[in-house]
Amino acid sequence: MSESQTMPETSEKGLTAAEVAALTESGQVNAVKSSTSRSFADIVRANVFTLFNGIIFAAMVMVLVTGSWRDAVFGLVILINTGIGIITELKAKRTLDKLSILVASDYLVRRDGKDVEVPHNEIVLGDLMWIRSGEQVPADAQIVRTWGLELDESMLTGESRTVRKNEGDDIYSGSTAVSGMALVKVNAVGAHSYAATLTAQAKVYKKTVSDLNKGINTILKFMTFLVVPLCVLLIWSQVHAVGGWDVAVSTGQWRSSVVSAVAGVVGMIPEGLVLLTSLNFALAAIRLARKNTLVQELESVETLARVDCLNLDKTGTVTDGGIMLNEIRMLDGVGANTVDEHAVKQALYDLSNEGQPNGTGLAILNGLGKQGFSAGPVAARVPFSSARKWSSIADDGAVWTMGAPEVVLSHLDGDYADVLRLVNDSAHDGNRVLLIARHDGKAPADYESDPAIDPASRPVALVLCSEHIRDDAEATLAWFREQGVRCRIISGDNPVTVGAIARKVRLTGDAEPRFMDARKLPADITELAKVLENVDVLGRVLPDQKKAIVQALHLGDHVVAMTGDGVNDALAIKEADLGIAMGNAAPATKAVAQVVLVDSKFSHLPDVVARGRQVMANMERVAS
């Protein structure tokens, strides 16, 4: 369907139909195979080919060779033990696959001088494509022309602030347009895109290490060396007792000798302990599933009990990714101190009420809307521009301006050092700060055609917004502190902002959280391990650094759990002893995590850890 009439005018023609056909034929299309969880074959293989099953199967075959079918019933323990693992993990896989089903979106591309909609996987290398507000970027591209495009790249970088893009800038698949639009040229598709390259490193399956199963396997290995010669000796002694092999074979008594020898040997194998371990893990997984927590590998239940170090991704874990309006702070005594607070709030609502407001604008509209404010009359408007970094409206009595404090104040007459100090203090507390200025009187005739801030304007208020912290974050972190689990927040965002959020959720209790810019971290893993002992919050962390942080903590013999939701978290989640993904996480991230919090509630983590500890306590009592 053509939508060229709704799009900005452009002289770009795009690819021709022949070029598209040739690129499609050569495989330069935006199709990539992405598995959302372990395959059926992987699950079956992991549960069937175990040392325990091998020993029991060999013993069962020996009995079956004698023709004594009834005496081979003990082999059913293989089916029970294997069945428990396969069924439980398949249920988790089915649920996870349902979570990862995405709505197949169509995208507007320019071909033969016309705008046409094509499915995600029919975009080809070199396509000219429109990216519109609300759409996810389907392939890596370079901006040809932009009309105020602003992207949320938190899934790729962990940086929660939206990013304004200019002509010539690169954009990556997986980011989302939150405002504006752009015409872009696709320069990487399918498996060659940034997100696909990043997640490819996380696709190799890594088995969860269970100390309990490792201990049982150690016993089984010892039993294997003991059982084989013992079994031979038992058969030889039985045959010798009846008069030798000639007599045993001629009378058929060799069969009873083999059955007796296998019976003696099988009794030495801790079948009950193996079966009980599987049952305990399965029951824990079922109970956790009732609380919207998926366990993809049964052995990870045990890892839950041993975690002593929890790395938290800020966006999506401690915060929910949304922005909220915190406060409108009137600047009484600075300039126009007679301005009514209600008038300021009404002007702020109208300033934010643009055609396509960004995340901050939506937060202001939502916050003031709850206070009963709605759109008022606006005589003229200068919309927000990333180049200007401010917006403005005019009503009957005044011109109001809202924007970045440093930019707005630089246009005004007078010394506002006190206001700037207040802005910096508020930013240090983790706020996004905007400034509102007012100029009494009507707007000039060229107000909309040649926008400028009147130097006679006076600052009247600061608008403080911040990321929305999950309601359950503080209580959950307090529980982990009580349990002796060291929590760290690791984020791609500004370390000062992340440190302020850590302070609000009392990450370190009454102590001040220690934060650091990850760009100053040492590259050497041993040095990194020493630095991490004295750091609670890390900002500006790259995906490879998250992985290195987990490796460094392993050097200190820590059992590390890592939470996250973005593609940038996938490598660290895979490297951790226990990877925990949010239900709204990227499919690749959920695929490598051992535990998935289906409803993305951080508050489920104490239940998860407590359940793991309960299972381990029961198992240790029984094993003893």
- The residues annotated as belonging to the active site are 313
Q: Is 35 helix (H, G, I), strand (E, B) or coil?
A: coil
CA-wise closest residue to 138 among 1, 34, 30: 30
**Which residue bears the tokens 């304004």?**
164
**Dihedral-angle region of residue 158 (phi above 0 means left; psi in -120 to 50 means alpha; beta otherwise):** left
493 to 192, 309, 540, 592: CA distances (angstroms): 26, 21, 5, 23
Q: Euclidean distance between the first and final Cα of the chain, in Å?
A: 70
How far apart CA 223 and CA 225 sit, in angstroms, is 5
**Are residues 165 and 153 in contact, defined by beta-carbon separation less than 8 angstroms?**
no
Please, which residues have CB within 8 angstroms of residue 65's CB and are 6 or more apart in sequence? 258
Q: Looking at residue 124, what DSSP letter applies? A: B
> What are the start-end ranges of the H helices in 122-187?
154-157
Angle, helix 51-65 to helix 76-99, in steps of 10 degrees: 140
Contacts of 112 (CB under 8 A, 6+ apart): 13, 14, 15, 16, 17
Q: Which structure tokens are listed for 176? A: 């989302």
Q: How far apart are CA 348 and CA 368, in angstroms?
A: 9
Report residue 336 CA to chain centroid gap: 46
Q: Are strands 486-490 and 176-188 parallel, antiparallel or unpaired?
A: unpaired
| 199 Cβ contact partners less than 8 Å away, ≥ 6 residues apart | 34, 567, 570, 586, 588
